[in-house]
Structure 1
């Protein structure tokens, strides 16, 4: 239906951006990986979108890359996975890293997302393995195979410092996906985000 949106960024919230298009302010829900790139109100933005209709309303979801939108659509096609969980997954990894986690059956990496426990991670792997595009078709992944393990170790380190799982996941979700970081860099980045 609506596959993209182009307009002027008016504001961002915890889980959405308001984009001004033709005199209308449109609320677009997005993963934090997309929202982190929308920094300056007044900037022109173009997002790939998914138009989602339910009994209780309609919503628009936006993504910096069309591949992330496609991954979102595949995620919400799995029973038991709604838009909120799909956004949580795509907040901590892009489509390539998500496809890699499914291909490698990496439940630990999938479990880093808010709302994804061991049972749901196993269900996602069962439902999606073999049904997703190959990493070669996407041009490979920016993430290294060790990236998921490093992020899992960073989560454990933050929890060891007394932060709750939710707090640690939220801090790690703010890490830019385009910059690979070591374990120490991830923990330092997360600790700085707590002090803001």
Structure 2
């Protein structure tokens, strides 16, 4: 199985590119965001690859980071979500933004993706909310595992700081995520770290 490709950008289309690796052109499907971030035609590029093998075809999906690839895999576990919708979500939301949306059950944010309506967005939030925090996934996916890791809302943001504080107090990451999500709903997006910690502790005490 192909896990990574390094080569030269040959051709870029609407939903894929051809990557020239030592004279062999690999057709790789990507999100619009990954395609936008590619170097120019003729320049070197490296992509993390997800290989799907069927009886009648082999299809390669390319990502700019392992975090994006991991979210692609997670999205495909949601009922009714195929590669096209998964790539549409990743075209609209960065891994950290998707982590935020799932953690805070922000269906509206996910529904911004092309082809994703309210029902699909609800399924994504419902089916992934427990998988992400407790699934042993890295902080690169936008979920802080310990204090100081990447924030859910920007590096060092109030949400991540509040979650880290609750984890340092001895609460598990899934519990801390859920508590701060509830605090965010109560206090709003402008809430400070101190407010989120205080409200989060109240959520944990329920």
**TM-score when normalising by structure 1:** 0.69
Q: 2:129 matched to which residue of 1? A: 129
Does 2:77 correspond to 1:66? no
Q: Report the CA distance between 1:142 and its aligned residue.
A: 5.8
The residue number in structure 2 matching 1:47 is: 47
Q: Note the 1:141-160 alignment, pairs <5 A.
A: 141=152, 143=154
Counterpart secondary structure, 1:40: coil
* Cα deviation 1:124-181 (Å, max 9, x = unaligned): 1111002114611462246599xxxxxxxxxxxxxxxxxxxxxxxxxxxxxxxxxxxx
Q: Which runs of 5+ in 2 are unaligned?
A: 158-206
Aligned equivalent of 1:16: 16
- Equivalent residue runs for 1:29-178 within 5 Å: 29-132=29-132, 133=137, 135-137=143-145, 139-141=150-152, 143=154
* Residue ranges of structure 1 left out of the alignment (5+ in a row): 146-196
Work out whether residues 100 and 153 of structure 2, in 8 Å CA contact, stay in contact via their aligned partners in 1.
no
Superposition deviation, residue 121 in structure 1: 0.6
Q: CA RMSD in A?
A: 1.8
Supply the distance in 2 between the matched residues of 1:50 and 1:127 (Cα, whole angstroms).
Answer: 22
Regions of 4+ moved over 6 Å: none
* Structure-2 change in CA distance of 1:143 and 1:114 (3 Å): farther
Tell me: higher relative CO, structure 1 or 2? Use CA pairs within 8 A at least 6 residues apart: 1
Structure 1 residues 60-94: Cα deviation after superposition (integer angstroms, max 9, x where no partner): 01111110000001111222000000000000111
Q: Offset at 1:45?
A: 0.4
Deviation at 1:54, TM superposition (A): 3.1
Matched residue SS, 1:139: coil
Aligned residue-pair number: 145
Whether the 8 Å CA contact 2:27–2:60 is kept in 1: the answer is: yes
Which of these two proteins has the greater Rg computed from alpha carbons? 2
Where does residue 196 of structure 2 map in the other structure? none
Counterpart secondary structure, 1:105: coil
Cα distance change on mapping 1:123 and 1:55 into 2, 3 Å = farther
> How many angstroms apart in 2 are the aligned matches of 1:47 and 1:88?
18
Normalising by structure 2, we get a TM-score of 0.66
